[in-house]
Amino acid sequence: MNVISIDLPWNRDSKAGRALAIVNRGRKVEIKTAEDDDELSRLVRHHVEQESIIFLDIPIEGCDHLEVEKFRLVDKALNQLGISAFPASRAEGRGKWLKKEIQDINRGKKTIVQEMYPYAIYKFLAYLKKYGLLPRLITGKFDTLCEDGFRGFWPPRYKRENSKDKRLENMKYLYSLLTDPKIGLKFSPPLDDPDSSYTLAQLRGLADKYDACLGAIVGIFWTERNPYAWIAGDPKSGEMFLLADKWLKEQLEEKRVQMRRENALRNC
């Protein structure tokens, strides 16, 4: 079993690339890229193992009846907590189609395909880094790490800065977070470090790789039974993997979002 985390455009015909972070034993992470869905499928098929967990950065479930609401329950709850989420209606049926496609081409390997949201993972980790709390993630104890100030905390924007210099600065911050020894990812070959020679288009491609890495973190934590890895939501109305402490878990539950951990993948 391994973890494959995929960042991809919500539009199948988009010229934007697809990035995969493939996590093998010992937290070793390898980055791959694909130009289109066909190449993406080939890469997944090549790297998938028995019972692999495959994460997609796109809404999968709960998008069938969003003509009026636009947002799923889990998306609305995240927005209320300062974790900006796009309307899941924009994804239409692409996430569900990709899930079926991946499961069909890997039939017999019992692959698990689930949704993750890189920004939710990023904001949580950046908040902990700001307050020196990252080491608390690996103690094995589930605790309260966040508080109400989390709602108004905004980590550096690494995708939507118009200034190249500012975007470069913010991406260097995310690079330092992904390579922080307290998180423990082992990149082979080393993760690309942004530098001034990158164009804005190249930085966008690098950001896709970083998003895939954020999904890989929650995948690693889940497989290692880390108490901060959760599934928020339910299969019918929409769900996603994310990191949450006691405070964030309770806030989401107050907004009627189910939070699951033990044996949550048994019937996926």
Q: Is 231 part of a structural domain of the chain? A: yes
Residue 8 lies in a domain: yes
Q: Is residue 210 part of a domain?
A: yes
Closest C-alpha among 45, 41, 49 to residue 98: 41
Kindly list the strands in the beta sheet with 238-243, ordered across the sheet, starting from the edge strand earlier in the chain: 238-243, 229-234, 259-260
pLDDT at 224: 92
How much is the pLDDT for 67? Answer: 67
Q: Are 85 and 79 in contact (CB under 8 A)?
A: yes
Closest CA to 194 of 182, 209, 180: 209
Q: Are 127 and 120 in contact (CB under 8 A)?
A: no
Question: pLDDT truncated to tens, each residue of the chain (268 aa)?
Answer: 899 999 999 988 888 889 999 999 889 999 999 999 999 999 999 999 998 999 999 999 988 877 667 899 999 999 999 999 999 988 888 999 999 999 998 888 889 999 999 999 999 999 999 999 999 998 989 999 999 999 999 999 998 888 889 999 999 999 999 999 999 999 999 999 998 778 888 999 999 999 999 999 999 999 999 999 999 999 899 999 999 999 999 999 999 999 998 654 544 4
The verdict on residue 128 lying in a domain is: yes
The angle formed by the CA atoms of residues 80, 86 and 92, to the nearest 5 degrees, is: 130
Which range of residues forms the domain containing residue 18?
3-260
In a domain, residue 131? The reply is yes
Q: What is the pTM of this model?
A: 0.94
Asked if 89 and 67 touch (Cβ cutoff 8 Å), the reply is: yes
The closest of 1, 56, 46 to 23, measured between CA atoms, is 1
Residue 265 lies inside a defined structural domain of this protein? no
> Is 176 a domain residue?
yes
In the three-class reduction of DSSP (H, G, I as helix; E, B as strand; rest coil), residue 123 is classed as: helix
Number of other residues whose CB lies within 10 A of the CB of residue 47 = 16
Domain assignment of residue 267, yes or no? no
**Residue 245: which of 114, 161, 162, 127 has the closest Cα?**
127
Q: For residue 214, what are the CA distances in angstroms to 106, 185, 229?
A: 24, 10, 13
Number of folded domains that form the chain? 1
* Nearest alpha carbon to residue 153 among 82, 235, 91: 82
